[in-house]
Amino acid sequence: MARRRSTSLPLLLLPLAATLALTGCFSASAEPAGSTGRISVAHMQPPRSGLDPLSDDAFKLSRWSTAETLVTLNESGDATPGLATAWQRTSDTAWEITIREGVSFHNGEPLTAAAAANSLQAAIDSTPVPRILNGTALNVDAVDGQTLRITTADPDPLLPQRLSSPQLAIFDPSAYTDHGVNPVNTGTGPFKITAVDGISGATLDRFDGYWGEPASAAGIDVKFVPDGTARTAALRTGEADIVEAIPAGQASTVDQELLTEVPMPRTNTLYLNTKKGPFADPAVRAAAREAIDRAAIIESVYEDRADLAEGLLGPALPYAAEYRDDAEYQELLAHRAQPAKVKDVKISLGTFTDRAELPEVAVILEQQLEAAGFEVQQDVREYQYIEADALDGAFDAFILSRATVLDSGDPVAYFASDFTCEGGFAISQLCDIQVEEGIASASETDAGTGRQRAIMLAEARILGTDAAIPLLHERVIQGENAAVSGAARDPRERSLVTTQTQLDTK
């Protein structure tokens, strides 16, 4: 029977040693930052599903180094060992995974292939299924104590990368209940959760039985602080050692030495409707492309805290830029339509208010497009009220902040969703045979440099249609107390406090 997630898990009722109030500040009775060897963290968003690891809350568990996956990803998105030490493809659809020996769950129980299979099966049976498994059918079983067999319905060269998703983290079988999945004292990471206080905070202690390098810090004290001004104040006053997502508008109020800008795999893109309206003409799309001044948007809206988009994929994917000099890539772009001369061409431009910068971007784009001969009518709403119209092709142009890699660390799923004939997020309404072939080729190529090149050639094919005009790549601003060292600065937002993270208590 499929497990339906509960948003009110038993763990929400667990007491904290000290109650945390949702004021944006850490407990006044706490020891001064750095004096105890514990790391205090201010997060942007509270848990949405009671820290159920089959939900997006899995990324918090990963960032606290309490939950671990069979496979991890390196900077380039290649699969590296985690709780699995090796994997081998034994046929087009079958893989054997070797489970690491000597690993204990936080409750003292040993990690086995059967326990790993149990966690993966829970994800497969969950409703809704974790997004990394959308469209993917898996069968899992334990061959012996340390060997796991995974069979896919179709050939899947990206299976090891899929196993890196935080939503496929491995927990002791006791974590899985009729009410959901309880990560308290059931993970394998260097920190164990000892208490959770609903949407206020959480407490983690160093796990001395960890299989790898022991954690430097004695523990982690987590506070959920949705208000950006309060998070910034917590960094400025030293009440938090690490602060997630300092708003760009608040960054100037903090000592700049305490801030780190991390490139995100997220691109702000202007999608153009290729199916109907003025932008059904490639030359008119090209005119819009030529009208846009990306640098002006970054300077005025983002205060220069974003990266100019040369393509759909940004600096969070280190290999992207190097392939743009490829002769075949350049040849694909050379066939783009020449810009038409436009005058009094009426277009509708949509975006949403949930990301504060996007309405401002819309204002600047309207000015730039009208200077080129377009007449722009804006439609700006909350995302929940505008998404359906955007997907139905109701707009001539739509501004979207879009994650370009999903949980596998690979952008092919994003390409397929947004730019294929049957894509589920095809705002541009694009259906182009060359684009289809390019994305299909990338999806079928094994992980490695060959797949990276195929991905970039697929990007060139998409850009060649002018169905999407990338504007900028977002950054997240991470705050760190001057005493903090070793905090992860992860574009994928999977790591934050690691075994290396510590405070200088001198």
Residues near 332 by beta carbon (within 8 Å), at least 6 away in sequence: 457, 460, 461, 463, 464
* Res. 27: pLDDT tops 80: no
Residue 62 in any domain: the answer is yes
Same-domain check for residues 165 and 131: yes
Same-domain check for residues 305 and 218: no
pLDDT at 471: 98
As beta bridge partners, residue 453 has none
Same-domain check for residues 436 and 312: yes
pLDDT at 26: 52
Based on the structure, what is the number of domains in the chain?
Answer: 2
Same-domain check for residues 225 and 300: no
Q: What is the CATH number of the domain that holds 84?
A: 3.40.190.10
Give 314-341 pLDDT, tens digit per residue: 998 889 999 999 999 999 999 999 999 9
Residue 36 in any domain: the answer is yes
Same-domain check for residues 403 and 268: yes
Give 282-320 pLDDT, tens digit per residue: 999 999 999 999 999 999 999 898 999 999 999 988 899
pLDDT band at 76; cut points 50, 70, 90: confident
Closest alpha carbon to 138 in 169, 1, 146, 130: 130
* Res. 153: pLDDT tops 50: yes
Residues near 465 by beta carbon (within 8 Å), at least 6 away in sequence: 274, 282, 285, 336, 430, 432, 435
Same-domain check for residues 299 and 170: no
Q: What is the CATH number of the domain that holds 294?
A: 3.10.105.10
* Res. 19: pLDDT tops 90: no
Same-domain check for residues 362 and 267: yes
* Res. 410: pLDDT tops 50: yes
Mean pLDDT of 410-433: 91
Residue 252 in any domain: the answer is no
As a whole number, the mean pLDDT across the chain is 89
Give 130-145 pLDDT, tens digit per residue: 878 877 889 999 999 9
pLDDT band at 406; cut points 50, 70, 90: low
Same-domain check for residues 470 and 486: no
**Residues 245 and 480 sit within 8 Å (Cβ to Cβ):** no
* Res. 16: pLDDT tops 60: no
* Long-range contacts, 248-251 (Cβ 8 Å, 24+): 248/302, 248/303, 248/305, 248/357, 248/477, 249/303, 251/303, 251/305, 251/477
Same-domain check for residues 396 and 485: no
pLDDT at 55: 85
Residues near 77 by beta carbon (within 8 Å), at least 6 away in sequence: 161, 317, 405, 409, 410, 447
Residue 384 in any domain: the answer is yes
Spell out where 324-395 has E strands. Answer: 345-352, 374-381
Residue 246 in any domain: the answer is no
Give 171-193 pLDDT, tens digit per residue: 999 999 988 899 999 999 999 99
Give 473-485 pLDDT, tens digit per residue: 999 899 999 999 9
Alpha-carbon distances of 266 from 307, 401, 490, rounded to whole Å: 11, 7, 13
**pLDDT-above-90 percentage for the chain:** 69
Residue located via tokens 């060269």: 157
pLDDT at 74: 86
Same-domain check for residues 232 and 278: no
- Kindly report the backbone phi and psi dihedral angles of residue 424, in degrees, each rounded to the nearest multiple of 5, phi listed first: -80, -5
Mean pLDDT of 457-463: 98
Residue 253 in any domain: the answer is no
pLDDT at 131: 75
Q: Find the DSSP H helices in 204-304.
A: 228-236, 282-291, 294-301
* Res. 13: pLDDT tops 80: no
Residue-number span of the structural domain to which 211 is assigned: 3-241+481-503
* Res. 20: pLDDT tops 90: no
Residue 258 in any domain: the answer is no
Residue 250 in any domain: the answer is no
Amino acid at 198: G
Which of 225-229, 385-389, 402-406 shows the lowest mean pLDDT across its residues? 402-406
**Residues 53 and 167 sit within 8 Å (Cβ to Cβ):** yes
- First vs last Cα of the chain: how many Å apart? 55
CA distance 223 to 200: 6
pLDDT band at 506; cut points 50, 70, 90: low
* Res. 454: pLDDT tops 80: yes
Same-domain check for residues 495 and 452: no
Same-domain check for residues 56 and 199: yes
Supply the DSSP string of 2-42, one letter for each residue.
Answer: PEEPPSS-GGGGPPPSS---SSSS--TTSPPTTSSSEEEEE
Residue located via tokens 């208000």: 227
pLDDT at 12: 36
